[in-house]
Amino acid sequence: MNAKLIISLILVALALLFIIQNITVVDVSFLFWTLSMSRALWMFFILVIGIILGWSIHSLYFSRRKTK
């Protein structure tokens, strides 16, 4: 197997373990909105957003690099 894949799977497993251990309900406030949700769900959303942003930036970088 590819080393990057193994490292990625280990990091995802560690992140999921961290999320599972943090299941308490917290209040998230932004400007005028307040939302009550579990900390695990909030961290999962942040993780997904981070993966999407990282993937998008990586793709953008390599697409610009190929055109030069």
CB 51 within 8 A of CB 58: no
Q: Is the pTM of this model over 0.75?
A: no
The answer to whether residues 19 and 40 touch, using CB atoms and an 8 Å cutoff, is yes
**What are the pLDDT digits (tens) for 24-65?**
898 888 899 898 988 888 888 888 999 999 999 988 887 777
Q: How confident is the model at residue 15 (pLDDT cuts 50, 70, 90)?
A: confident
The alpha carbon of residue 59 and the mean position of all alpha carbons in its chain are separated, in whole angstroms, by 17
Domain boundaries, the chain: 3-67
